[in-house]
Structure 1
Amino acid sequence: MVVYVVMGGELADVTLWAGELGAVHERFVHRFNREEPRQSALAYMRGLIAPLERKNGWTLAEEAGHAGPDRIHRLLNRIEWDADEVLDDVRDYVVEHLGDRDAVLIIDDTGFLKKGIRSAGVQRQYSGTAGRTENSQIGVFSPTRSRGRTLIDRRLYLPTSWTDDRERCRQAGIKDTVAFETKVAMAKAMVRRAIHDRIPFGWVTADAAYGYSKGWRFELEQADVFHVMATTRHDTVVTRWSIDHPVHDLFPACPDRSGSAVPAATGPMAHGSTTGPEWRSALAPARPATLGHRPPKRSLTEEISYYIAYCPAGTTLDELIRVAGSRWAIEECFQTAKGECGLDEYQVRRYDGWHRHMTLAMAAHACLTVLRARQLDTHKAETDPPSSSTSASPRSDA
């Protein structure tokens, strides 16, 4: 579930989250060479969680008891520290407390509306946050959904208008070695990193902007990474009938499930072709629907969204629906991280500064997610009746 810590008073005990935030901070405090940045990083995260109307350099400094924002600005822009190393420590914290082999790794991007032209990566481009073309920065993120939803990776997208102008890049702190990468390439790198770092997850999912990439889907299949990817009706797949068969032509041939729609966050889905006895590439058309709602038969004539899945033979339709529906969790994750942890409230223009802010905001969000998961576990233990059996769970490794 999404964490709401300040709103609603669910975790009203300030000492509770302050203590947990200190535990997160202890994970990466050794990444700083001096005491000032160590304390500034903790103060920065405390300010991001605090119920402040605005979260900028001045308000965060005031919350920390500083005379001015200089220490905050030094932390984000001038002091030497590696945000990727800190992120590694935050990810270890997330895995320790929320790790789940059935977790879903989600890839998506979000926009940050900006003024001016000096902030790294800014230009007029489509922003899903605004729902239109705006002057903005775009960040590609990877959250994980397991016992909680929290962000575990981030990259700032740099359009060619930036990477083709190296002088402009240098002024924003972007090294000459940082070349243009598509968002799909960033997504590939994030999943590779998660695999390399042994982040536990069972599935990957993404919207059609990423799922349409045959190259990425093939890479995931070669690595035996199960996935459910949204795609477009113009995509093609290999079937028993032909190579590169149009996806939209397969839907009429799918079993008619109009009378037995499965209640789920994404609505009814239908299987397509299979390949091989052990693995299959399953085609799964779907439409958005309210949880628990059974769309009427006539809804099947409306616009359809398509998903392509790579999964073990025998995977149930309900499981595919669960994974596809997990993708919507990222919107709630973004909303919570922005609303509760100041993910979108930053005053930095440099490339490193953006990644530093995002890393500390993600650390704060991870802290709140862990607290929320712990609270839910406690509530469940208090309300669930005691088990009459002491035998191991069927899912146990024992």
Structure 2
Amino acid sequence: MAGLFGRVELRRRARSYLVGLLAPLERKAGWQLAAAAGDPTPVRVQHFLSRAVWSADLLRDAVRAYAAANLAGPGGALVVDETGFPKRGRASAGVQRQYLHATGRTENCQVGVFLAYVGERGSALIDRELYLPPVWIEDPERCTAAGVPATRIAAGALAKPRLAEAMIGRAVAAGVAAGWVAADATYGRDTAFLSFLTSRRLPYVVEVPLTQTLRESDRVDVLARAAPASAWRRVPPRPGSCAAGEYDWAWATLPGTEDLPPGFVRTLLVRRSAERPAELVYFLCFHADAVRREDIVRTASARDAMAACLLAAKAECGLDHYQVRRWEGWYRHVTLAMLAHAFLAVGAAAERAAGELDGPDAPRAIRWR
């Protein structure tokens, strides 16, 4: 990544910032990162995040390419999710009292929408966007004070699914090998988001609320109750999955293919907890007709890996430890934390691959550790 930072002093600062994010520090905000770099104050760290000349978007592109080169495969999934960053006051870009589905509470926070690559070899965050609530767009002076670019203000109040579409579009344009898209009900109930994926023939498995209506008037919970006992099948989680507990799955092809590309179908997938059978989760799916049930289930479970990515990036790489308020500072810190997390994810994947090669039948060779 060194070429993205034009001067040697900037490259050294970027390296020290990343080393700090990977260090076993309790907090990874400006003062702590400055101390780890040997600075008496966080002035240089603040300059690096706010005024130094480098592009967070070019770094994002490099992180995506790095993760794809080391983790991607045709069976992988692009997974969308969001997370909140609790904040005090009202000056931080995009901060607002808003509902966080992760906590089930309304909090004063910023919300970041993230895209992860989830594959057999590992998972990593590869894109990010800061959600800007409509009240911010209605207050251009507040936006300007927080450093929100004029182009973003002009774009208006973009809903979270529109941000997700932009990130998925960038990943596809960059050639990231992924056979699926997965998301929760925030995106699954957005018809424009589903049309975006369908028109591009991007197979998806998205959660939908129990009130989601299909076939003109049938709700998904009503259809699920009509499923016979023979429709339910237990599918074991794939090795290394983050899924907790065992689930039964029912899968049905939905009628009506007039609006679908040739060879594609729309299906309904329902997950039932083996321990709590009354707990049902519903997924709307779009894919080629020949896809196996196991592939659908694996993609539905990819959201667990995405949640694990966000937790790890926060706990291990300081994703939520920043103290910046302006738009550019948020994107710079978050992208550097994504790079630190991708570095760990790729290293873990390499370690697992080396372990597989060291089986009883593996050739005897030196292993560097």
Structure-1-length-normalised TM-score: 0.83
Q: Deviation at 1:129?
A: 4.6
8 Å Cα contact 1:112/1:129 also seen in 2: no
8 Å Cα contact 2:76/2:178 also seen in 1: yes
Partner of 2:358: 382
Partner of 1:317: 293
8 Å Cα contact 1:250/1:272 also seen in 2: no
Q: Does 1:373 align with 2:352?
A: no
Q: Distance in 2 between matches of 1:130 and 1:253?
A: 32
Percentage identity across paired residues of the two chains: 39
Which of 84, 97, 100 is the aligned partner of 2:57?
84
- Which letter maps to 1:272? A
Number of residues paired by the alignment? 347
SS at match of 1:167: helix
Partner of 2:252: 272
SS at match of 2:248: coil
Partner of 2:270: 285
Change over 3 Å in CA distance of 1:247–1:32 after alignment to 2: same
SS at match of 1:68: coil
Change over 3 Å in CA distance of 1:245–1:260 after alignment to 2: closer
Cα shift readout 1:85-143 (whole Å, capped 9, x = no counterpart): 11111111111111212111110000011111111011111224543111111000011
Which of 172, 177, 189 is the aligned partner of 2:151?
177
Q: Deviation at 1:40?
A: 0.9
- What is the CA RMSD across the aligned residues, in angstroms? 1.9
Q: Deviation at 1:43?
A: 0.6
Q: Does 1:164 align with 2:104?
A: no
Q: Does 1:151 align with 2:116?
A: no
SS at match of 1:272: strand
Cα shift readout 1:182-215 (whole Å, capped 9, x = no counterpart): 1111111111111111111111101111111122
Q: Deviation at 1:262?
A: 3.1
Mapping of 1:1-398 within 5 angstroms?
27=1, 29-146=2-119, 147-178=121-152, 179-238=156-215, 243=216, 245-257=218-230, 260-264=233-237, 265=243, 267-274=247-254, 278-287=263-272, 289=273, 295=274, 299-300=276-277, 302-383=278-359, 385=361
- Which letter maps to 1:248? D
Q: Identify the structure with the greater strand proportion.
A: 2
- Which letter maps to 1:378? A
8 Å Cα contact 1:139/1:154 also seen in 2: yes
Change over 3 Å in CA distance of 1:92–1:340 after alignment to 2: same
Change over 3 Å in CA distance of 1:227–1:260 after alignment to 2: closer
- Which letter maps to 1:306? Y
Change over 3 Å in CA distance of 1:208–1:130 after alignment to 2: closer
Q: Distance in 2 between matches of 1:273 and 1:127?
A: 33
Partner of 2:366: none
8 Å Cα contact 2:232/2:250 also seen in 1: no
Q: Distance in 2 between matches of 1:117 and 1:81?
A: 27
8 Å Cα contact 2:134/2:157 also seen in 1: yes
Q: Deviation at 1:285?
A: 1.4
Q: Deviation at 1:369?
A: 0.7
8 Å Cα contact 1:113/1:135 also seen in 2: yes
Structure-2-length-normalised TM-score: 0.89
Q: Distance in 2 between matches of 1:316 and 1:180?
A: 39
Q: Deviation at 1:151?
A: 0.2
- Which letter maps to 1:226? P
- Bigger shift: residues 46-55 or 272-281: 272-281
Which 5+ residue runs of structure 1 have no aligned equivalent?
1-26, 290-294, 388-398
SS at match of 1:97: helix
